[in-house]
Amino acid sequence: MTPQRARLLARLGLAPLWRLRQPADDGAEGEGDVEPAQAPAVVTGSTGALLLPANERAEPDQPALPARQDAGGADWEALELEIRGCAACPLHRQRTQAVPGIGDRHPSWLVVGEGPGAEEDRRGEPFVGPAGQLLDAMLAAVGLSRREGVFIANAVKCRPPGNRTPEADEIASCFPYLRRQVRLLAPRLIVAVGRPAAQALLDQPVRIADARGRVFEFEGIPVIVTYHPAYLLRNPQDKGKAWEDLCRARAMTHPPAGASH
């Protein structure tokens, strides 16, 4: 482990490193170097996809991901213009600007959050406050960033008044934009941070505590659910759980050298 990574983990309050729990172990979390988890199997069902333990891997393997389109071309620019000019729900009336998203347009991960806050509404970029700083530190600790390897977007593109949780009809109005972003970006993995983001993608009620450790699916792409960084700032005792989730996601998309596929 490099000194820089050690410093990042110390800033996150995650030193010593957390060891990923085995699927059958609901007990205490061990300490020591993180051991990359074996990529879990995804089994598609009528309401999404569920995680199978490694020793119950289903055959055949996961379906191929959709072909990547050019997310830097005219289709992407047209989508951003539509988002910035959208008036499909009442949220547009009080916004300073819509916030389409930011990051690598050929990402390994798409991180989906809830919606813009006051600072995001002012600057036009998602996750720029304290929660964004924590998210950036967590991504850096697994070797990714919003400049390389990750695109960050929200379930709704306009700020809800008072930074309240987006309502179901607001999420539904914005969902076609999120779906088009997924199709243009074609990430290898989607990380849904927080309940509204998870429910937007999975179209079913979600409890983060229950959804963690499972792999869902959106249009053939694996979806991992974890805590929102703003929640972690209020509940730092759960940072270790979020770190487990990111380590598991990293193992799924960046298997260690020599690992079998």
Tell me the CATH number at 190: 3.40.470.10
> For the segment 79-107, what is each residue's pLDDT rounded down to a tens digit?
999 999 999 999 999 999 999 999 999 99
Rounded average pLDDT over 205-219: 95
Rounded average pLDDT over 128-139: 95
* pLDDT for res 63: 36
Residue 63 lies in a domain: no
Residue 239 lies in a domain: yes
Residue 17 lies in a domain: no
Q: Which domain holds residue 203?
A: 42-52+68-253
* pLDDT for res 69: 41
| CA gap 186, 109 in Å, rounded | 9
Q: Is the dihedral of CA 157, 199, 51, 17 positive or negative?
A: positive
For 216, residues 6+ apart whose C-beta sits below 8 A from its C-beta are 42, 48, 49, 50, 201, 202, 222, 223, 224, 225
pLDDT at 189 over 50: yes
Domain count, the chain: 1
Higher pLDDT, 6 or 69: 6
| CA gap 49, 260 in Å, rounded | 23
Q: CA 236: distance to chain centroid?
A: 19
> For the segment 14-71, what is each residue's pLDDT rounded down to a tens digit?
554 444 444 333 332 222 322 333 333 343 333 333 333 333 333 333 333 333 344 4
Alpha helix segments (H runs only) across 27-73: none
Q: Number of C-alpha atoms within 13 angstroms, CB side, residue 240? A: 15
Burial of residue 33 (CB within 10 Å: 0-12, 13-18, 19+) is exposed
* pLDDT for res 11: 58
Residue 59 lies in a domain: no
pLDDT at 202 over 70: yes
Q: What is the DSSP letter of 128?
A: -
